Amino acid sequence: MPTEETLVLVKPDGVARGLTGAILARIEAKGYALVDIKLVEPDREVLEQHYAEHVGKPFYEPLVEFMLSGPSVAIRLAGNRVIEGFRSLAGTTDPTTAAPGTIRGDFGRDWGGKVQQNLVHGSDSPESAARELAIWF
Ligand code: DAT
Ligand code: MG
C-alpha cells in the first residue's frame, strides 16, 4: 500500500495544557513522519469547513467556540496506514472512556462542558484527509 497522509490537530486544550510535546513524542515513537507542522489560530470559516459534517448537531456550536479558544498545532503526518494508525493512537472520541494507553485515554477526561475536549483530531478516511489537509495547509 502506498504511503498515506493524514491531518492531525493538537486541539486548544492540548496546547494550553502543555501536552503538545508528549503527544508528538507518541506520534514519533510510533514511527510516523512529520511532513509539516505549524501553530495555527484558525478563524471561524476554517472551522466551519473543517467540521462541515457536524453542522446542526447539538455540540456543533460549542465545538467551534472551543476550537476558537486558543491556538492548535496542525500536523501533516505520513506513513503506511497512518489514518487508521493515528486514530488508534488517539483513542475513541469520549476521553472518559477512551482506552488507557491512548492519547485521549491517558491525558483526557470530562471537564464538564458541552463538548468533548479530547486533545486531538485525526482524519477518518483518505477523502477526509485530502479535504482537511487542503483546509489547514
Ligand atoms: P472524532 O474527533 O473522534 O473523529 P467526531 O468527528 O465524531 O469525533 O466529532 C468531532 C468532535 O466533536 C469530537 O472530537 C468532539 C466533539 N464531539 C463529538 N461527539 C460529541 C458529543 N456527543 N458530545 C460532545 N462533543 C462531541
Ligand atoms: Mg471526526
CA distances from 137 to 37, 102, 115 (A): 9, 26, 25
Q: Which of 121, 122, 129, 136 is catalytic?
A: 121
pLDDT digits (tens, 9 = 90+) for 44-54: 999 999 999 99
88 C-alpha to ligand 2 centroid (Å)? 13
Q: Which residues surround ligand 2, an ion (CB under 5 A)?
A: 124
For residues 61 and 64, give the distance between their C-alpha atoms in angstroms, rounded to a whole number.
Answer: 5
Which ligand 1 atom is nearest residue 117's CA?
15
Cα angle for residues 66, 69, 72 (degrees, 5° grid): 90
The reply to whether the predicted model has a pTM over 0.95 is yes
* Superfamily classification of domain 4-136: Nucleoside diphosphate kinase-like domain (3.30.70.141)
Going by the DSSP 8-state scheme, the letter that residue 124 receives in this structure is: -
Extended strands (E) in 11-125: 33-40, 72-79, 120-122
Q: Is 97 in the pocket of ligand 1 (CB under 6 A)?
A: no
Residue 49 is placed in which grid cell?
A: 469547513
Q: Domain ranges in the chain?
A: 4-136
pLDDT, residue 1, reads 58
Residue-wise pLDDT for 32-86, tens only, equals 999 999 999 999 999 999 999 999 999 999 999 999 999 999 999 999 999 999 9
Residues 36 and 77: beta-carbon distance below 8 Å: no
Q: How far is the CA of 47 from the centre of ligand 1 (A)?
A: 14
Question: Which pLDDT belongs to residue 2?
Answer: 67
Residue carrying C-alpha cell 510535546: 21
Residue type, 27: I
Average pLDDT on 102-121 reads: 98
Beta bridge partners of 33: 78
User: Quick one: pLDDT at residue 11?
Assistant: 99
